[in-house]
Amino acid sequence: LHKTINFCQNNIVYSKKMVLRGLHFQKKPYSQAKYISVIKGEILDVVVDIRKKSKTYSKYFSVKLSEANNLSIFIPDGFAHGYLTLSDEAYVSYSVDKYYNPESESGISYKDKFIDIDWGFDDKNFIISAKDKKLNSFDW
C-alpha cells in the first residue's frame, strides 16, 4: 500500500551539543509525517511508535544521522520523534506534510520509564527546554 506524501513545510533547527528535543508529535487529524536530515553535525534520532493497534506500539528505534554518514529518515504519522545533539553544534532539516497546529501539539518525556530509551549519556548533561521538561509519561 503506497501513500503519496506532499511536504508543505521545511524547517531547519540549530542545536548545541547535548541539546535534547522531544519526544514530539501532533494529534490527529494534524499528525505529521516527517523527513529528517542533518545538514551539519551529528544527532541521535529517536522514533517511538504511538499507533495503538500496531505490533510495535510503544517500541522505539534510534539511528545516528550526520553530515558524514549522509543518512536521512522518513517518519510516518503516528510516531513521536526526538533527538539528542552529539556534535558541538548541529543543523537539522525536517520536512513535514501538515502545518503545525498548536492545539494538537503533544509529546512524551525523553526519560519515560515504560519506553526506556537508551540515549547513551547521563541525562544530567542534557540541555532541555522548559516546555520539553513538562512532557508527560507514556501512560495512555
Q: Active-site positions?
A: 24, 94
Asked if residue 29 has a cis previous peptide bond (ω within 30° of 0), the answer is yes
Give me the phi and psi of 102, to 5 degrees please.
-55, -35
Residue 73 and residue 10: Cα distance in Å, rounded?
14
Contact 74, 33 (CB under 8 A): yes
Secondary structure class of 54 (helix, strand, coil): coil
Letter string b/e over residues 125-138, b meaning 16 or more CB atoms within 10 A of that residue's CB: ebebeeebeebeeb
- Residue identified by cell 526506556 is 116
